[in-house]
Structure 1
Amino acid sequence: MPGLAFGGDYNPEQWPEAVWQEDVRLMRQAGVNLVSVGIFSWALLEPKQGAYDFGWLDRVLDLLHEHGIRVDLATPTVAPPAWFYRAHPDALPVTREGVRHSFGSRGAICHSNPAYREAAANITTKIAERYAAHPALALWHVHNEYGEPVNACYCDTCAARFRDWLAARHGTLDALNEAWGTAFWGQRYTDFEQIDPPRLTPAVCNPAQQLDHKRFADATMRENFCAERDILHRLSPGVPVTTNFMAALSQCDSVDYWAWGREVDLVSNDHYLITDGRRTHVNLAMAADLTRSVAGGAPWLLLEHSTSGVNWQPHNPAKAPGEMARNSLAHVARGSEGAMFFQWRQSRRGSEKFHSAMLPQGGTDTRVWREVVQLGSDMAALAGLRGTRTVPDVAMVWDWHSWWAQSLDGQPSVDHDARERADSFYEALYDRHLTVDFVHPEADLSSYPLVVVPALYLTSENAGDNLRRYVEDGGTLVVSYFSGIVDENDAVHPGAYPGALRDVLGLTVEEWSPLLPGDTVRIAGPEGATRRADVWTEFVVPRGARTVWTYADGPAAARPAVTRHRSGTGTAWYISTRLDVQGLGAVLEAACEDAGVPPRGALPRDVEVVRRSGEGGDHLFVINHSREPAIVPLPDAGTDLLTGEPAAGLLTVLPGAVAVLRLGG
């Protein structure tokens, strides 16, 4: 594609064929150049087993091509037809409680089921054979949102595959028994056939067994994706294959996107605002940064978001005027090669009929439509961004396996939430106008002056060694409480807490003392400053680390609360409690100073300043989410690509507005 992608899910099968001509005419008016087609069309393409009807899809693709609109063509394997389930009811997934789901929604799939795998491969093959050479084809779209709404199945077929997966992972029963700690509660196995998925148990089910089952469920979905991808690669060489992730930590917690990112040709993502009273644009930025990081810093594609309100939350407010453009361009600032929506034309029937769309129920005489047309024009003006990359400032360590492990039963406090820690650390960095890369704990960290670790409960020895070397080689590390505790099998590292991170932090923790709901403690810091903290306290013993903040009261009164440890040529900070916003900000300010990250406090709050750079030049995005004009100092003179106006010195961006500057030249 010559420019940035702009469009959305197109579901012509929901409408009479006479509507299609109006659709493509309005798509041209809006600047649409890419649509996703066929995601839920299996029942129409194969109305009964072995009988195919491609005529309608032929006409749709030909019509789109005639009007210069490219296609992201789906394999419809997220929604098997009713006839398939009638023939194979065992392909419907079973819950942990033993209840089998029914047909009538979407994504009701047992990914271990051989009949489903065979049928999915068959329909994928038929579609690829027919459309591999179609001139409208730009991208293959496998399945839809793996892991949502069902990610794990507990049926007998899955049990058998789980045993095979365990044998391949652990090798022997002795190794499995050791990894799972089955000596506890007399759970030792003497035959793999004795092992079931972690179904409902009268007390807490073995956490290591639960963790491995999460890994198995994720690997099984990924195996099915790879099977379809390989068919498409074989029959349609050169056309990239993707599947739409849901990388926002608030939307999908069952998929290890580090592993999935290595399997797709193009990382793509769906993102929807969670309107729970928080600053939704911060979560959006976090999701975009995480998606770019899963892509290894390479360009990626926002494949779905909403023009306005959605339909699946308890409360679904409309987006404010201009918010759709800010949301879209914030994703582009953080690496997306376009902005796509669910969906093109708003549905009249079904569970998502009240979900917003590019073309609303009210048609073209609506605010949403007018904003869509303007955004299409803006996206066309940004075509020169293609291939440039977002420039990060700092890194945050994140690992899905650690999140899964922290979510299991039997933890010290139900109020500790790994995702909340990640959100809080990210928001503190966002408010310091720092662009964040997310990194796997065993990734190369050498390019980042500052690395933060908000919640790494599960820390392998390799990860611990990696973080230690990073600090010894001159990096600055900030670690939050309850990190470094267990290995990859959820076994506590031998010796004192914090296990794999003891040496780099220069301390041990004798005991945790989580706080009761509503309780807080005071911590005292430099120059008599005091802050509040809650949820968690610890009895920290410095072993080379220097105390920076001290508990002023509470269970750990007079003990260290925040420490700083010099190791090699770097510095490691440790935060042993959940600080309030000001306290966390103060620690991160000090860590930034250690790391040599320049302060950006002069920039207004809720104003994003993000850079994309590459052969296409240097571009600076300034996105004002606030209600006041923002005055932003520019590093160089440039031209606003959205208005054509020159800019130099101080740039004023009006409330709710966006500027995209090409710097220099």
Structure 2
Amino acid sequence: MPSLHDAARGRILFGGDYNPEQWPEEVWADDVRLMEEAGVNSVTVGVFSWAMIEPRPGAREFGWLDRLLDLLAAHGIGAVLATPTSSPPPWMGALHPETLPRTEDGALVNYGSRQHFCPSSPVYRRYAAALTEDLAARYADHPALTVWHINNEYCTHCWCDETAGHFRRWLGSRYTTLDALNDAWGTAFWSQRYDTWAEILPPRRAQYMRNPAQELDFKRFTSDALMECYTAERDIVARHTPHIPVTTNFMPLWSGQDAWAWAEQEDIVSVDVYPDPTDPHGGQYNAMLADMTRSQARGPWMVMEQAAGPVNWRDVNHPKPAGLNRLWSLQAVARGADALCYFQWRQSRQGAEKFHSGMLSHAGEEGRTFREVRRIGAELALIGAEVSGTEVTADVAVLHDWDAWWSSTQQGRPSSLVSYTELVQTWHRGLWESGISTEFARPGGDLSAYRMVLVPQLQLLGDAAVDNLVAYVRGGGTLVCGFFTGVVDTDDRIRPGGMDARLRELFGIRTVHEWWPLDAGATVGCDGFDGTLWSEELEPDGSAETVAAYRGGELDGLPAVLRKGTAWYVSTLPGPEALRGLLGRVAADAGVRPVLEGLPPGVEAVRRGALLFLLNHGRSPAAVELPGRYVDLLTGEAADGGVELERYGVAVLGDVRA
């Protein structure tokens, strides 16, 4: 199977989305000149070019793309060639309105933007396949082609009649019989029993709350329906070019795609990463997305998009302070990225994204943005051969699961203040601030390589996943589990006792009498810390140690944190400092150590292969003590016993001598 390593060939791929069709052709020569100056060796082309290639049904206008790819090849710049199927041309919506998606209210989503297609539409799929076939056949042997990029940011949802029929077929395959579906969905509640398959619809707008099991299955179906679109195009290009790796870009923490399942269908796992430059936790968020994507890729991965400066879709779009683009870019490389790309190369002068930054901003080649891009390109050239293809290892895994996430968003839950993604980020932050390397894993996956496994929250856990966690602990692993976990099965059915019985035995809990969610801003006193967001009325079975008890209120004296052997249960959310301390204590007991001891606040240390990356996320310089002799590959200077990092500074240290 082709890989990112094959495409990179011992380098870090560096570049971005290139949309030359927005510019007069005489600009192209200037583009490639500046690309060479910036060290760009890869650009993504064709993402939104469907109307340029097929201006009317069945037409093919490849001449401009021929000239573009020839120009790139002549200058040694590789092409990540996209199938432009994420944005159908206006003629498709005008001639075939049935290809347009409908909202859950039944309203038509018209063309005039992007992603305006129904994934279940056979007409859309037929046109997309025909265009992909011709694109792959024409450029299969082109020397510029290095990677196939299918579609772009699959994020379309649809509730139309075509989707309804597709949903029914998907359900038929999953359940076989209506009796099985009625049981899984609990349709005895509110007189929802289905007598024929034709009665079943997507969860459209309803009078009151909708069936949560139906909504869960529709989310599963939507991910699968989009994947059918992806695999159809992937199979076409793979048939023409079995030696060229294929990807499609995930959006960070996008709920609409089960990225674990999607990653198994990709040669390269790629993601679009856009931390907010004003977010004080932006560096940790960037690290978390890198850890998650690397785990899905099971090795090196690709930043398909990031911003060189401001974006255009926040309420206030702040530019990146000087040095932050470089810091976050090299942080991604430190955490396993072998490709570093931007949206986009040249900032647009027209259209909805004309205020979204580019590598080459409106200020041109003399602008600060391009100067910083040029520096990043030069530094990637210095370290590429040393870092490309190397691994990042970790002793700790955070469990993350789309079914559990989807289940946690249903209406009628105990607290709408509980956000699955915020919990994942909060727990990851506790490890990141402690300097502990982390990966992500599926609850049913192989956990044997990890000394410690964290479960911030998994409301839904299937039987196999529960058995996997129990076996992990029985095998000597350390498990730390957050509140409201193991509450429902895969059909979103509540487990007796308020938690799966096997987990209750694992943690020493006889029963969960009540869940006690907290109001916004409220806290509950515990031994040594305040709990936030949530608490639980637990009855222990006498086999576990109460590490911390609730103090005051209705739960006074009841356990807040339980420990039974190497299994820990945390029934509230400790504040950031308390959570960091708890996770650090458990990690130390499990034999997990930080990458580098004694780091100043805001400095991150990551080992990738034989290299040690030091990254200063602070706005002031920082001095880092080192346990040996190193050479900074970025400067060529020795770093014996210590190194000084400027504001947002980075050092890449190699040639370790004890």
Q: Which of 90, 102, 123 does residue 94 from structure 1 map onto?
A: 102
2:577 to 575, 582, 595: 582
Partner of 1:156: 161
Aligned twin of 2:291: 289
Mapped to 1, the partners of 2:238 and 2:461 lie a distance apart of: 36
Q: Hey, what's the Cα distance between the residues in 1 that align with 2:549 and 2:235?
A: 57
* 2:540 counterpart letter in structure 1: P
2: CA distance between counterparts of 1:12 and 1:394?
Answer: 44
TM, length-normalised to structure 2: 0.96
What is the one-letter code of the residue matched to 2:207?
P
1:275·1:315 contact (CA, 8 Å) conserved in 2?
Answer: no
Alpha carbons 2:547, 2:563 under 8 Å: kept: yes
Q: Which residue of 2 aligns with 1:239?
A: 244
Is 1:557 the counterpart of 2:556? The answer is: yes
1:108 matched to 2:109? The reply is no
Distance 1:68 1:497 in 2: 58
Q: Which residue number in structure 2 is paired with residue 649 of structure 1?
A: 641
Query: In the alignment, is the contact (CA less than 8 A) between 2:93 and 2:110 conserved in 1?
Result: no
Return the alpha-carbon distance in structure 2 between the equivalents of residues 502 and 549 of structure 1.
Answer: 18
Corresponding residue of 1:625: 617
2:219 to 208, 214, 217: 214
Shift of 1:497: 2.5
2:79 corresponding residue in structure 1: 71
Matched-pair contact (CA < 8 Å) for 1:561–1:576 = yes
Letter in 1 for 2:644: T
Match runs of 1:212-611 below 5 Å: 212-246=217-251, 248-249=252-253, 252-274=254-276, 277-296=279-298, 298-384=299-385, 385-499=387-501, 501-507=503-509, 508-524=511-527, 530-543=528-541, 544-566=543-565, 571-598=566-593, 602-611=598-607
CA distance in 2, matches of 1:497, 1:239: 47
**Does structure 1 residue 637 correspond to structure 2 residue 632?**
no
User: Contact 2:14–2:341 at 8 Å: present in 1 too?
Assistant: yes
Aligned residues of 2:549 and 2:561 also touching (Cα < 8 A):
yes
Task: Using the TM superposition, name which of 489-498 and 41-50 deviates more.
Answer: 489-498
Q: Are the structure 2 counterparts of residues 355 and 202 from structure 1 closer, same or farther at C-alpha, using a change threshold of 3 Å?
A: same
CA contact (8 A) 1:497 1:510 kept: no
Do the aligned partners of residues 184 and 663 (structure 1) sit closer, same or farther apart at CA in structure 2, a change above 3 Å counting? farther
CA contact (8 A) 1:549 1:563 kept: yes
Deviation for aligned residue 1:455: 1.0
Aligned residues: 645
Runs (5+) with no aligned partner, structure 1: 525-529
The one-letter amino acid of 1:540's match is L
Question: What is the identity, as a one-letter code, of the residue corresponding to 1:319?
Answer: K
The 1-side partners of 2:321 and 2:396 are apart by 31
CA contact (8 A) 1:460 1:500 kept: no
CA RMSD, 1 decimal: 1.3
Determine if contact 2:470/2:502 at 8 Å carries over to the other structure: no
User: Is the partner of 2:513 in helix, strand or coil?
Assistant: strand
1: CA distance, partners of 2:42 / 2:498: 55
Q: Which residue of 2 aligns with 1:181?
A: 186
Alpha-carbon deviation of 1:401? 1.1
Partner SS for 2:521:
coil
Deviation at 1:634, TM superposition (A): 3.4
**Structure 2 counterpart of 1:527:** none
For 2:204, give the aligned amino acid: R
- CA deviation digits over 1:457-489, x for unaligned, max 9? 001111111111111111111111010111111
Q: Following the alignment from structure 1 to structure 2, what is the Cα–Cα distance between the partners of residues 488 and 199? A: 22
Normalized against structure 1, the TM-score is what? Answer: 0.95
Q: Match for 2:204 among 199, 202, 205?
A: 199
The amino acid across from 2:179 in the alignment is D
SS in 2 for 1:648: strand
Indicate the residue corresponding to 1:22 in structure 2. Answer: 30
* Inter-partner Cα distance in structure 2 for 1:619 and 1:196: 54
CA distance in 1, matches of 2:199, 2:79: 49
Q: 1:275 to 1:486 in 2, by over 3 A?
A: farther
CA distance in 1, matches of 2:395, 2:330: 20
In 1, the alpha carbon distance for the partners of 2:395 and 2:600 equals 18
Report how far residue 601 of structure 1 moved.
5.8
Which region of structure 1 is more displaced relative to structure 2, 269-278 or 97-106?
Answer: 269-278
2:264 and 2:320 map into 1 onto residues whose CA distance is 34
Identity of aligned residues (%): 47
Letter matched to residue 29 of structure 1 = E
Cα–Cα, structure 1 residues 202 and 499, in superposed 2: closer, same or farther, change >3 Å? farther
| Counterpart for residue 5 of structure 2 | none
In structure 2, what is the equivalent of residue 138 of structure 1?
A: 146
CA distance in 2, matches of 1:582, 1:265: 40
Q: Distance in 1 between matches of 2:92 and 2:577?
A: 57
SS of 2:497 mapped into structure 1: coil
The Cα of 1:364 is off from its aligned counterpart by 1.0
How far has the Cα of 1:636 moved from its partner?
4.4
The superposition leaves residues 202-243 of structure 1 with CA deviations (integer Å, 9 ceiling, x where unpaired) of 111000000000000000000110000000011112111111
Give the secondary-structure state (helix, strand or coil) at the position aligned to 2:364: coil
Q: C-alpha separation between the residues in 2 aligned to 1:282 and 1:370?
A: 26
Match of 2:21 in 1: 13
**Is the Cα–Cα contact under 8 Å of residues 468 and 503 in structure 1 kept in the other structure?**
no
Would the alpha carbon gap of residues 169 and 635 (structure 1) be closer, same or farther in structure 2, given more than 3 Å must change? farther
Shift of 1:635: 4.9
The 3-state SS of whatever aligns with 1:610 is: strand
Given that 1:562 and 1:575 are in contact with CA atoms closer than 8 Å, whether structure 2 keeps it comes out as: yes
